[in-house]
Amino acid sequence: MTGSDLREFAELLYEEARSRTDSPVGTMFNGAFVEAFREYLVEDGSIEDIESAYCRKQIGRSVAEAYGYGLQDEDTVLDVIIAEHGWKAEVMRKAEVQRAVRRAQVFVEKCRTGLYLGMEETDPAYPMAKRIHDVWPALNRVRIFLFTDARVTVDSMPPGEIDSLRCTYEVWDIARLHRLASSGRRSEETVITLDEFGGPLTCLAAPGDADYQCFLAVLPGALLAELYERHGARLLQRNVRAFLQARGKVNKGIGETVRENPGRFLAYNNGVSATATAADTEYLPDGSLVIASLTDLQIVNGGQTTASLHRVWLGDPLALATVRVPAKITVVRPELLDDLVPRISRYANSQNAIKEADFEANSPYHVELQELSRSEWAPAPEGSTQMTRWYYERVRGQYQVDLGRARVRHQLPDFRRENPVGQKFGKTDVARYELTHLKRPHDVVLGAEKCFRLWTEDVVARFDGTPDRRYFREVVAKLILFEHTRKIIQRMRLGGYLGPTTAYTVALMVDRLGEAVDLERIWRAQGLPQRIADLVPTLAADVVRPLLVDAPGSGNVGEWCKKVQCWERVRDADWHPN
């Protein structure tokens, strides 16, 4: 990876952010920069979802700053984003990294003590500050993420504390993001060295074939909990993550077994099934086989066990001292990941409540949508002769890989002109646009992962046949409708809740206008009809947003927007287009 590669990628990232907003600087661009980063990390599994919201306050001699936040693991883990952009792949020194992270830490500390009380409710950052304050008693960990287009010289940062809560720091610089984007893989490579968790793992080698190796082991419960503490949702295959959010009898039963009969956990629990792309093994002098390290470990069955043990461990690490968990670890060659891992995941979960649709990321639906995006030319916008494509990225990193191929073939300018980065979209994007058009904005607001899961179960799994040209054009038209509406609302500077306001505004337009929302016309124009564009400001500001922020019983607005009752109230609004 050369300096010119990173500078080019930094410019691409800037273009991607710039395509999301009309402003190349300021608060709106800050949010767009975070959104561009967010897509990579949600797909990677480093975060489940975040909401961009910029805040900077001078407090005495300190500065409190944040670019967004997210709540994970049933609102027990707080993610806060700090960003540094405009570096264009130049080096950011350790002291500058520490200052940026410190601003985020000050922000969290001030939120805890009531920063929102001194803010106007119309401040876009007000919902973020208030939400963090409200959930603070339930938190058990804080994670601060630095997103930057600089090259960072810091390898790692030791954990800290905020009001006795463990606080960890993740630095995502342009080099790390480039490795993820250009790999064509689903996630950044992770090597787990077991010496860091108590030593090598004794195992038995089971017969396999030329495509895989299989090892059977008994894991200390504390090892699973510590792995989850270190790597979080990235340890779990994407298909399983959203499933873990629900509390249920299984999770309660796991906790009860640990507390009441920890020595019987091995007998009672079915264990975990995991995959890896490499395992470093060796035979000890006594003839036993041990695993020293694992590359790209992914738990494909047993996510509930892992997450539940982690919750117990957070409350009392010693509670897992005698807990043991059976495990099957299948090592699959990297080139066979897309073929074998979904099958292993499907069959390992065949007796659980995860639906078949959860394993359809490589289904004919997505493959055909990708093929259509490579062959279907969009009409040239008015005043232009340049026809372009809307690039569907079925697997994160495909666009970057194709950029690299175009560079080798000396076709880079043509590729970027024909496939603008602002016209790249992925699976979670399609889920958002489709569910909005199906008048389910409350599901869209749940976040990228949960929205994707619902769409997969309710739309993709029931799709009859495969997408055709008309279907692809309609998907793109829904994208244009959503994103152009979002930009109009963003320019209005209404305050927070841009995402929910957009989803509900589009859904209400679709509900009231019906066939007047002509998707074929939007596709041909590659933009919004003027009539629809003219409706957005009044509809968003005077109808939708007041109903969103008026949560019953002065409740949390973010949570209210996720309820079907919120959509029912908006849908019943007294608004009729002229």
Q: pLDDT tens digits, residue range 71-112?
A: 987 788 999 999 999 999 999 999 999 999 999 999 999 999
Question: Measuring CA to CA, how many Å separate 51 from each of 118, 179, 233?
Answer: 21, 24, 18
Per-residue burial over 165-181, b = 16 or more CB atoms within 10 Å of its CB, e = otherwise: eebbbbbbbbbbbbebb
How crowded is residue 455: how many other Cβ atoms within 10 Å of its Cβ? 24
Nearest-5° angle of CA 271, CA 273, CA 278?
135
Buried b or exposed e, range 521-554, using 16+ CB within 10 angstroms:
ebbebbbbeeebeebbeebbeebbbebbbebeee
Length of the chain equals 578
pLDDT (0 to 100) of residue 31 = 87
Q: For the purposes of burial, counting CB atoms within 10 Å of the CB of 199, is it exposed (0-12), middle (13-18) or buried (19 or more)?
A: exposed
Q: Where are the alpha helices (DSSP H) in 272-392?
A: 303-315, 337-348, 364-375
Q: How confident is the model at residue 352 (pLDDT cuts 50, 70, 90)?
A: very low
CATH of the domain at 102: 3.40.91
Task: Give the range of the structural domain holding residue 309, as residue numbers without chain letter.
Answer: 191-354
Q: Convert the pLDDT of each residue in 391-449 to its tens digit.
A: 998 877 788 878 877 877 788 889 999 999 999 998 889 999 999 999 999 999 998 87
Contact yes or no for 391/424 (Cβ under 8 A): yes
Q: What's the pLDDT tens digit per position in 483-500?
A: 999 999 988 988 788 899
- Could you report the per-residue pLDDT of 105-137, keeping only the tens digit for each? 999 999 999 999 999 888 889 999 999 999 999
The tally of CA atoms less than 13 A away on the side-chain side of residue 96 is: 15
Q: Whole-number mean pLDDT of the chain?
A: 86
In a domain, 42, yes or no: yes
Please give the Cα distance from 165 to 48 (Å, whole number).
21
Give the residue from 146, 164, 182 where a domain finishes. Answer: 182
The DSSP code for 545 is H
Say which amino acid occupies 235: L
- Residue after which a domain boundary falls, among 182, 203, 228: 182
Predicted pLDDT at 191: 86
Kindly state whether residue 269 falls inside one of the protein's structural domains. yes
- Whether 69 and 211 have beta carbons less than 8 Å apart is answered as no
- Cα separation, 47 vs 15, whole angstroms: 23
d(CA 176, CA 106): 26
* pLDDT the model gives residue 238: 46
In a domain, residue 446? The reply is yes
Cβ atoms 30, 82 nearer than 8 A: no
Most confident by average pLDDT, 30-34, 69-73, 397-401, 525-529: 525-529
Please check whether residues 33 and 133 belong to one and the same domain.
yes
Tell the burial category of 370 from Cβ atoms under 10 Å away from its Cβ (0-12, 13-18, 19+).
Answer: middle
Number of domains into which the chain is organized: 3
Q: Name the residue among 43, 123, 83 with its Cα closest to residue 449.
A: 43
Q: What is the DSSP string of 367-431?
A: HHHHHHHHHPPBPPPTT----B--EEESSTTHHHHHHHHHHHTT-HHHHHHHS-GGGEEEHHHHH
With a pLDDT cut of 70, the percent of the chain lying above it is: 89
Taking the C-alpha atoms of residue 408 and residue 137, their distance in angstroms, rounded to an integer, is 54
229 and 178 housed in the same domain: no
Nearest to 173 by CA among 83, 67, 102, 42: 83
Confidence at residue 243, expressed as pLDDT on a 0 to 100 scale: 42
Structural domain includes residue 208: yes
**Strands annotated E in 110-211:** 141-148, 151-152, 160-162, 165-172, 191-193, 201-209
pLDDT at 479 over 90: yes
The pLDDT score that the predictor gives to residue 338 is 61
C-alpha distances in angstroms, 558 versus 24, 74, 130, 392?
A: 28, 14, 11, 30
Are residues 342 and 471 located together in one domain of the fold?
no
pLDDT computed for residue 358 by the predictor: 40
Domain boundary among 182, 202, 226: 182
Tell me what pLDDT residue 356 has.
38
Kindly state whether residues 389 and 531 are assigned to the same domain. Answer: yes
- Pairwise CA distance, residues 484 & 462, whole Å: 29
Q: How many Å apart are CA 430 and CA 482, to the nearest integer?
A: 11
Q: Report if residue 110 sits inside a domain.
A: yes
Q: Rounded to whole angstroms, how far apart are CA atoms 441 and 371? A: 28
How far apart are the two ends of the chain, measured CA to CA in Å? 56
**Alpha-carbon gap, residue 176 to 416, rounded angstroms:** 22
Alpha carbons within 13 angstroms on the beta-carbon side of residue 380 total 7
Which whole number is the average pLDDT over 134-145? 94
**How confident is the model at residue 463, as a pLDDT?**
85
Q: Residues 248, 270: one domain?
A: yes
264-301, pLDDT tens digit by residue?
A: 888 888 888 888 989 999 999 999 999 999 998 888 88
Tokens at 305, concatenated: 């066990």
The lowest-confidence range among 143-147, 258-262, 476-480 is: 258-262
Residues 105 and 213 in one domain: no
Distance CA 381, CA 518 (A): 17
317-340 pLDDT, tens digit per residue, is 888 999 999 999 999 877 666 666
Minimum mean pLDDT range among 258-262, 327-331, 571-575: 258-262
Q: Is the pLDDT of residue 45 over 90?
A: no
pLDDT above 90 as % of the chain: 48
- Pairing mode of beta strands 141-148, 77-84: parallel
Instruction: Tell me if 578 is assigned to some domain.
Output: no
Distance (Å, whole) CA 498 – CA 444: 13
Q: Do 139 and 262 sit in the same domain of this protein?
A: no
Asked if pLDDT for residue 63 goes beyond 90, the answer is yes
Look at residue 157 and tell me if it is in a domain: yes
> 238 and 89 in one domain?
no
In angstroms, the CA 130 to CA 394 distance is 36
Question: Which residue has better confidence, 512 or 246?
Answer: 512
> Mean pLDDT lowest for which of 66-70, 180-184, 531-535, 564-568?
180-184
Task: Say how far apart CA 485 and CA 501 lie, in whole Å.
Answer: 10
Q: Which pLDDT value is given to residue 129?
A: 95
Residue 577 domain flag: no
Say what the pLDDT of residue 187 is: 53
Do 522 and 560 reside in the same domain of the chain? yes
Adjacent-strand bridge partners of 146: 82, 171
Residues 298 and 371 in one domain: no
- Mean predicted confidence (pLDDT) in 159-163: 92
Whether residue 422 sits in one domain with residue 535: yes
Instruction: State which amino acid sits at residue 481.
Output: L
pLDDT at 377 > cutoff 90: yes
- The one-letter amino acid code at 162 reads I
The model's pTM is: 0.72
Q: Which amino acid is at 268?
A: Y
Residue 358 to residues 180, 278, 459, Cα–Cα distance (Å): 24, 25, 12
pLDDT value at 376 more than 70: yes
